[in-house]
């Protein structure tokens, strides 16, 4: 089993931390993992992306030219990465601010309106966990218990009281994701 994922959006949306939680979840499941950020002068409002690989075998390249799954959180990232999803792969996107929607017919496309839902949950910070929940619903690569363990590992202890809220957001993401 091997899953190559790109998560891309604006800085400040929790792109890197979502990738980190996925990577930690993989570690909890005894998988090999790699997490490669597009580090640089990115900041809140700029673009940010991270490549996460989870695999039962050792991982060769942390840099990829095609992906099994693209998790897309803004228009620029959709324009850039839609074509890089492998045929038969998965594309999940947040509909907020998207004017040119994905058009490919050879991949599964799902939409999750996480920005709207996060506002409804009165916590903008739940946004990336709603997205993660949608992904986990579609792809049971890592078990929920391991995701929670991963969440615990990647959150500083002073934020551990937020874990129940994050869990709720993950569940919600699974409920509201819809196929396009």
List residues near another protein by CB under 8 A.
20, 23-24, 27, 32-37, 39-41, 59-66, 153
Write out the H or E segment, with its range, that includes residue 67.
strand 67-72
Q: 153 or 168, CB closer to another protein?
A: 153
- How far apart are CB 143 and another protein at their closest, in Å? 17
Nearer of residues 149 and 172 to another protein, judged by Cβ: 149
Instruction: Judge contact between 130 and 112, C-beta under 8 A.
Output: yes
Residue with tokens 């939680």: 21
How far is residue 48's CA from residue 170's CA, in Å, rounded to a whole number?
22
Q: State in angstroms the smallest separation of the CB of 101 from another protein.
A: 26
Secondary structure of residue 124 in the 3-state scheme: helix
In the bound state with another protein, the residue whose beta carbon lies nearer, of 14 and 174, is 14
Instruction: Report, in Å, the least distance between residue 41 CB and another protein.
Output: 7
Q: Distance between CA atoms of 61 and 12, rounded to whole angstroms?
A: 27
The minimum distance between CB 160 and another protein, in angstroms, equals 18
Q: SS3 of 11, please?
A: strand
From the CB of 68, what's the least distance to another protein, in Å?
14
Q: Tell me the closest approach of the beta carbon of residue 23 to another protein, in angstroms.
A: 6
Tokens of 141: 């690569």
Contacts of 5 (CB under 8 A, 6+ apart): 19, 22, 51, 52, 53, 54, 67, 68, 69, 70, 71
- Tokens 């045929």 found at: 87
Whichever of 66 and 167 has its CB closer to another protein, that residue is: 66
The nearer residue to another protein, 65 or 161, going by C-beta atoms, is 65
Q: 84 or 138: whose CB is closer to another protein?
A: 84
């Amino acid at each position: 089993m091997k899953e190559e994922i790109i998560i891309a959006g604006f800085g400040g949306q929790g792109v890197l931390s979502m990738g980190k939680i996925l990577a930690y979840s993989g570690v909890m499941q005894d998988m090999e993992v790699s997490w490669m950020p597009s580090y640089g002068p990115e900041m809140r409002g700029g673009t940010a992306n991270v490549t996460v690989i989870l695999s039962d075998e050792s991982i060769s390249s942390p840099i990829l030219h095609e992906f099994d799954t693209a998790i897309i959180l803004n228009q620029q990232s959709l324009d850039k990465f839609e074509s890089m999803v492998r045929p038969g792969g998965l594309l999940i996107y947040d509909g907020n601010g998207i004017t040119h929607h994905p058009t490919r017919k050879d991949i599964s496309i799902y939409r999750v309106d996480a920005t709207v839902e996060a506002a409804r949950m009165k916590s903008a910070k739940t946004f990336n966990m709603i997205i993660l929940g949608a992904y986990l619903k579609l792809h049971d690569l890592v078990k929920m218990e391991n995701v929670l363990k991963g969440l615990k590992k990647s959150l500083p202890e002073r934020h551990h009281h937020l874990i129940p809220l994050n869990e709720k957001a993950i569940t919600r993401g699974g409920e509201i994701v819809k196929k396009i």
